[in-house]
């Protein structure tokens, strides 16, 4: 592989104008397709095969008014008022009348008729039923919704909004996180390389890749449902991997230039060696993300494939566009801050870089490599203790989907949630829908409702609609939507559906938003082991092929599991326990996103393989040349520390930058990604991995004899490339007539 990549990079270097023009044409075509398609993100999430989805499908066919999104309009009186007073009641009825005229509203449930006035007379709860899903409710309709409640506000009543859709429910993604991440990445790269040109190149190539990715998603969104969070994850990964892959290749190239290698030869060799690591690292990330397809949840499959596409573009750009850009940059990548070419003055960054390139043992990272190798057992124990401490909170993880309870107290949804909990009880924040079909009469509906009301854990049950032989019964649990008792209640009613329906021809289904969240969590929990086995198995095969040994992939997988658990532990500590939440501007949440462990497994596994490949390939490269296992660990780790640390800090910074978004789902994803990357890079790959490799020694590289006979060598460390280049140079240096 290294030889093929060498030839590819040399061609791209020599034809850099063609390569740059080609990528610009690709970008223009994708932008044009995005404009023509005019696609937009769609947060309509369906969970095929679940009971809650069957309820939604049945209602859409039988009683469409209950198949769309709902908005809770919470009207609260001040201390000196009551919603039942003549003036307040008149204002509320005027607001309800105007709510009925809002575009896309199919029905408004009157709080007086539905008996949704709090016992203390302070709060009235109206429910707006939309004729479409939450994602399809227009902003103009939500604005009209607010205008319609003006009579209540003029009467001195407070109005708050909650439910599946409400004003400002879906904050727009801004460019702020990307800008913050790019600025931090540029600072890190300039410090790492000591040169402005070298710091800019990985960012330029990554931005081109991200531009193609985002506009490509816009084009795909015209024909495929792509959720907002999918775009955000693709953006995070595209930006971070694009910069990191460019960083690894550029670092190798600059070191070779400082060692005196010619420009073209250096570019081609850097891609042939570091580029091989990029291919295998990127392939592992892509395999892990594509593995989300086995979970069986469409929006997660789309998220995985879109993110995998972003990583694939990053790999292609690193292997083709970056060599072309290096050709344009020329010697400028070695022009250090503080150096003066005309006067011959050499700055401190250049002196350090040149000394490190010629004598790797003098690098700061070499000291760490020697330390880890010498004190390998204490380092191993200390690293495991650190990772285990971070991971401990994961034992208390509670999975679910975010409710308004996870919103900041300044949001209208959180205020509505708190008003309902305080004046009606937490159960009204997560009502359930029981759908009976077919039902012959209203008397039968009344009988089913009475039986449902007697189920332990049910606060109340009331008929909500009866049409086309189908009945909808609203059930109010005694506990909130994320409580384990509510999950137990849903499971109990489903288990006892036959007795509750009490009719051999009637089917009773339990659905609604709360039941849907429970179904998603259950499906993800049951699918996670299968997903983990599939992804780990494919990655094991890929890494075994790359390193030609069984022990390295096993070590890599165990390290990845440690990183994932540590990331989940940090997420639980911050979001569920609230440790440091106020400092980070985060609202404490009783649950962890139910799909977070699944996407965390996919992404951290892929990204951890990045660092595994880059560190271990340098160790193997040294071991292949010298045969000294422990010294190879010292030297390979030493030359990897600086670049892997920079790459990890860039990823960490980019992920942390996305916590500035107001989207509730993005913050826990960003925090867990950031912690997972930091733990994996600094604790696992730069500490535990070299310590284990120093303990095991040369036995780590053992493989059966048949393996070398039947499995081709991908030459990830570039040994075959070096031999090929040496043979090519030999005739030119041989004496005449020899």
Give the C-alpha distances (Å, rounded to integers) separating 497 from 28, 434, 451, 501: 57, 10, 10, 6
Domains, the chain, ordered by start: 2-38+172-337+353-399+519-719 (no CATH), 70-163 (3.30.70.1320)
Question: What is the percentage of the chain residues whose pLDDT exceeds 70?
Answer: 91
pTM above 0.85, yes or no: no
Instruction: Calculate helix-pair angle for 629-657, 228-258, nearest 10 degrees.
Output: 140
Both structure tokens of 148: 């319609």
Looking at residue 1, what is its pLDDT? Answer: 75
- Most confident option among 45-49, 552-556, 585-589: 552-556
Cα–Cα distance for residue pair 362/235, rounded to 1 Å: 38
Q: Does residue 734 surpass a pLDDT of 50?
A: no
Mean pLDDT, range 719-737, rounded to an integer: 59
Q: Residue 161 — φ and ψ, nearest 5°? A: -125, 140
Strand partners, 437: 507
Question: What is the percentage of the chain residues whose pLDDT exceeds 90?
Answer: 39
Kind of pairing, strands 592-593 and 399-400?
Answer: parallel
Cα–Cα distance for residue pair 464/588, rounded to 1 Å: 34
Mean pLDDT, range 7-33, rounded to an integer: 93
Q: Does residue 362 surpass a pLDDT of 60?
A: no
Note the pLDDT tens digit of each residue in 216-231: 888 888 778 787 778 8
Q: Cβ(644)–Cβ(615) under 8 Å?
A: yes
Between these two residues, 462 and 711, which has the higher pLDDT value?
462
Nearest C-alpha neighbor of 300 from the set 583, 524, 616, 5: 524
* Residue 40 banded pLDDT, cuts 50, 70, 90: low
Between these two residues, 363 and 318, which has the higher pLDDT value?
318
Q: Give rounded-to-5 percent helix, strand, coil for the chain.
A: 70, 10, 25
Instruction: Calculate helix-pair angle for 551-571, 689-696, nearest 10 degrees.
Output: 150
Note the pLDDT tens digit of each residue in 165-205: 888 877 655 556 778 888 888 888 888 777 788 888 999 99
Looking at residue 136, what is its pLDDT? Answer: 83
Q: Does residue 557 surpass a pLDDT of 90?
A: no
**What SS3 state is found at 555?**
helix
Looking at residue 41, what is its pLDDT? Answer: 64
* Residue 267 banded pLDDT, cuts 50, 70, 90: very high
Query: What is the three-state SS of 241-304?
Result: HHHHHHHHHHHHHHHHHHCCCCHHHHHHHHHHHHHHHHHHHHHHHHHHHHHHHHHCCHHHHHHH
Note the pLDDT tens digit of each residue in 498-509: 999 988 889 999
Note the pLDDT tens digit of each residue in 400-444: 777 788 888 888 999 999 999 999 999 999 899 999 999 989 999
Q: Does residue 685 surpass a pLDDT of 50?
A: yes
Looking at residue 380, what is its pLDDT? Answer: 95
Kind of pairing, strands 507-511 and 432-437?
Answer: antiparallel
* Residue 738 banded pLDDT, cuts 50, 70, 90: very low
Cα–Cα distance for residue pair 322/16, rounded to 1 Å: 9
Mean pLDDT, range 297-304, rounded to an integer: 85
Note the pLDDT tens digit of each residue in 369-401: 889 999 999 999 999 999 999 999 999 988 877
List the beta strands (DSSP E) in 110-262.
123-130, 158-163
* Residue 669 banded pLDDT, cuts 50, 70, 90: confident
**What SS3 state is found at 582?**
coil
Q: Cβ(440)–Cβ(484) under 8 Å?
A: no
């Amino acid at each position: 592989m290294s030889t093929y990549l060498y030839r590819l990079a040399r061609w791209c270097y020599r034809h850099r104008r063609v390569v740059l023009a080609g990528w610009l044409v690709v970008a223009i075509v994708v932008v044009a397709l995005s404009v023509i398609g005019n696609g937009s993100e769609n947060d309509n999430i369906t969970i095929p095969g679940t009971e809650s989805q069957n309820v939604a499908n049945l209602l859409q066919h039988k009683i469409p008014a209950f198949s769309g999104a709902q908005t809770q309009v919470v009207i609260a009186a001040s201390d000196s008022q009551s919603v039942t007073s003549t003036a307040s009641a008149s204002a509320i009825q005027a607001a309800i009348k105007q709510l009925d005229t809002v575009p896309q509203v199919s029905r408004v449930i009157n709080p007086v008729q539905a008996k949704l006035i709090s016992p203390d007379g302070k709060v009235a709860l109206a429910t707006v039923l939309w004729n479409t899903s939450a994602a399809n409710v227009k902003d103009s309709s939500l604005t009209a919704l607010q205008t319609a409640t003006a009579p209540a506000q003029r009467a001195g009543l407070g109005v708050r909004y909650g439910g599946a859709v409400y004003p400002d429910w879906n904050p727009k993604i801004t460019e702020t996180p990307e800008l913050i991440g790019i600025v931090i990445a540029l600072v890190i790269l300039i410090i790492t390389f000591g040169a402005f040109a070298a710091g800019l190149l990985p960012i330029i190539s990554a931005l081109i890749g991200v531009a193609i990715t985002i506009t490509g998603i816009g084009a795909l969104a015209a024909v495929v449902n792509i959720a907002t969070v999918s775009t955000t994850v693709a953006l995070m990964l595209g930006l971070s991997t694009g910069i990191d892959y460019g960083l690894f290749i550029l670092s190798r190239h600059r070191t070779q230039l400082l060692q005196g290698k010619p420009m073209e030869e250096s570019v081609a060799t850097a891609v042939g060696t570091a580029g091989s690591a990029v291919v295998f690292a990127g392939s592992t990330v892509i395999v892990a993300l594509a593995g989300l397809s086995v979970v069986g949840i469409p929006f997660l499959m789309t998220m995985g494939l879109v993110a995998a596409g972003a990583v694939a573009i990053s790999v292609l750009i690193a292997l083709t566009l970056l060599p072309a850009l290096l050709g344009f940059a020329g010697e400028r990548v070695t022009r250090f801050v503080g150096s003066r070419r005309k006067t011959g003055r050499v700055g401190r960054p250049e002196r350090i870089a040149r000394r490190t390139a010629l004598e790797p043992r003098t690098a700061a990272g070499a000291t760490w490599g020697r330390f880890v190798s010498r004190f390998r057992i204490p380092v191993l124990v200390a690293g495991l203790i650190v990772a285990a401490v971070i991971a401990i909170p994961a034992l208390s993880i509670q999975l679910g989907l975010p409710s308004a309870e996870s919103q900041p107290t300044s949001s209208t949804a959180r205020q509505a949630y708190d008003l309902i909990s305080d004046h009606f009880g937490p159960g009204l924040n997560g009502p359930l829908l029981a759908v009976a079909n077919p039902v012959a009469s209203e008397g039968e509906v009344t009988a089913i409702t009475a039986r449902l009301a007697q189920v332990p854990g049910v606060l109340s049950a009331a008929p909500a609609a009866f049409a086309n032989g189908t009945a909808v019964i609203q059930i109010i649990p005694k506990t909130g939507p994320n409580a384990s008792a509510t999950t137990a209640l849903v499971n109990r009613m489903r288990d006892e559906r036959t007795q509750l329906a009490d009719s051999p021809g009637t089917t009773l289904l339990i659905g609604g938003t709360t039941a849907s969240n429970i179904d998603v969590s259950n499906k993800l929990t049951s699918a996670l082991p299968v997903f983990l086995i599939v992804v780990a198995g494919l990655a094991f095969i890929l890494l075994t092929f790359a390193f030609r040994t069984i022990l390295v992939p096993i070590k890599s997988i165990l390290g990845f599991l440690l990183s994932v658990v540590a990331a989940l532990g940090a997420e639980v500590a911050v979001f569920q326990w609230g440790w440091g939440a106020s400092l980070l501007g985060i609202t404490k949440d009783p649950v962890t996103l139910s799909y977070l462990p699944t996407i965390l497994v996919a992404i951290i596994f892929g990204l951890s393989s990045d660092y595994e490949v880059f560190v271990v390939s340098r160790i193997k490269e040294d071991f292949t040349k010298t045969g000294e296992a422990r010294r190879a660990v010292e030297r390979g780790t030493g030359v990897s520390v600086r670049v892997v640390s920079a790459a990890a800090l860039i990823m960490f910074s980019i992920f942390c930058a996305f916590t500035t978004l107001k989207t509730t789902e993005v913050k826990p994803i960003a925090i867990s990604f950031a912690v997972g990357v930091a733990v994996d890079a600094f604790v696992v790959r730069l500490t535990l991995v070299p310590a284990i490799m120093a303990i095991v020694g040369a036995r780590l590289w053992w493989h059966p004899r048949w393996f070398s006979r039947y499995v081709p060598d991908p030459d990830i460390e570039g040994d075959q490339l070096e031999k090929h280049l040496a043979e090519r140079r030999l005739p030119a240096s041989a004496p005449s007539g020899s």
